[in-house]
Every structure is written in C-alpha cells, then in structure tokens.
Amino acid sequence: MKSKLVWITGLAGAGKTTVAKQIFNLLKGRFPNTAMIDGDDFREVFDNDLGYDMEDRIKNARRIVKMCRYLCCQDLNVVCATMSLYKEIHEFIYDNFENPLIVYLDIPIEELKKRNKKNLYSSGINVSGIDQNIDEPRHDSYVVKINNTVTPNVTVNKIMERLKIYGTDN
C-alpha cells in the first residue's frame, strides 16, 4: 500500500482517539509501517507551548499536518486523531496528500455535553463548537461522516471498508 493518511476529526469527546487506536491496530497488523498521532499527545510532545484560542489551535493543527506529511514521505501510513475542524486545515490536507481519508465524527453538541469527559463543555471558554466556530469537512470524495447512532466498532468497520478502496486489502 502506498503511504496513506487517515485523518479522524470531530469535537472534543467525539471518540477520535478510541476510533483511531482501533484503526491503527488493524492497519499495523497488516502494514507494520503504520504510525499514529493523537492531538493531545502531540501537544504534550511540544510541552503544550500553544493555547486553545483559534490562532493557536490552527497553528497546532498545521504542525500536525506537517508531521503527518513528514511521516508519509518516509513511506509510513499515518492514522491521526485531532480536532482540527477548520477549513484552512482541510484545504492544507487536500493540498499535501494524495487521497487522504478524512473521517468526521459528527456527534451532536448535546451528546458531547453529556459525555464531557474532560470537563471542557462546562467552562464554555475557548471551546470549539461552543464559543469557537468550526468548519465541517466538505470534500465528499474523502470524507466519511459518522454520527452518534453507531458504535465505535461500526465506525471502525465503515472506515476499514472505505480504506479497501485505496488498496489496503492487499
């Protein structure tokens, strides 16, 4: 398989990391040249040097895209789980990758507020989808849109089916 980017995005608490880990494990078993990047871990690697206002979020997302590109250029497949719900980031991905697969976990904000794993939705300050606008991915040929009516396993199966189109079943 030619190196591939699987970009999993959605608001905080949507299940990005859960889904990404399952996809990573499935791909890694068949393609040892597979890496995973998680947005929270990525921030930690850089000593959390950026905040959560819109400017810093976009700067961090650009860093992540560049790291993914760096890894893909070394013939690694990359599974990335990060929020990055900004049009300029989606366009940056489309411009820098051949056939990226963007998975948008489209969970209603009411459901995310119930989950509120990281207590982010309690403050309402610098919260994407609450006081910060987001842009949903729109490039139909690359986006798999998932909603909250499916389990993580169903989501993973849908993503793996989509990846077969790109030759991951060889």
Handedness of CA 45, 11, 101, 65 (dihedral sign): negative
Q: Which of 3, 84, 128, 141 is catalytic?
A: 84
Residue 170 lies in a domain: no
Indicate the number of domains in the chain. Answer: 1
Average pLDDT, the chain: 82
Active site residue 3: no
Q: Which two tokens stand for residue 117?
A: 């794993």
Q: Name the region of 2 (left: φ>0; alpha: ψ -120 to 50; beta: rest).
A: beta
Residue 23 lies in a domain: yes
pLDDT digits (tens, 9 = 90+) for 24-74: 999 999 999 999 999 989 989 988 888 888 888 889 999 999 999 999 999
Task: Return the pLDDT at 170.
Answer: 42
Task: Return the pLDDT at 131.
Answer: 54
pLDDT digits (tens, 9 = 90+) for 104-157: 888 777 777 776 666 565 555 655 555 556 667 776 656 777 766 778 888 898
- Expressed as residue numbers, the domain containing 129 is 5-164
